[in-house]
Amino acid sequence: AQKVTQVQTEISVVEKEDVTLDCVYETRDTTYYLFWYKQPPSGELVFLIRRNSFDEQNEISGRYSWNFQKSTSSFNFTITASQVVDSAVYFCALSEGRDKARDDKIIFGKGTRLHILP
């Protein structure tokens, strides 16, 4: 069964500090997809990134970077030089790839609430 664990429920850092949000996942499939979503105070989730299980290259997008390590089943998210606008709840999610492509559930972790203090 698929499972996503985000052990950090809440993190507070001062603006301009770097912060890493941890995500550990469990799956029996060899093909799967990992995601990060951001939920600002407005409530609507916003997609940030998707990785498939065959691509372990780390990715950088501006101040955001993601470290995917299959050996530890982790997909961690780092914000460099954090800003107040980064304050939000961040969710890690997992979708198992299947031959029957339509039968895909997306399971989310419990989220990490990030506070960036001015």
Binding of residue 107 to another protein (CB under 8 A): yes
Q: Give me 3's structure tokens.
A: 């499972």
How many amino acids of this chain bind another protein (CB under 8 A)? Answer: 30
- List the interface residues with another protein, window 1-40 (CB under 8 A): 6, 9, 31, 33, 35, 37
Binding of residue 101 to another protein (CB under 8 A): yes
**Phi-psi sector, 74: left (phi>0), alpha (psi -120 to 50), beta:** beta
HEC string of 72-88? Answer: HCEEEEEECCCCHHHCE
Residues that bind another protein (CB under 8 A): 6, 9, 31, 33, 35, 37, 42-47, 50, 52, 91, 93, 95, 97-98, 101-111
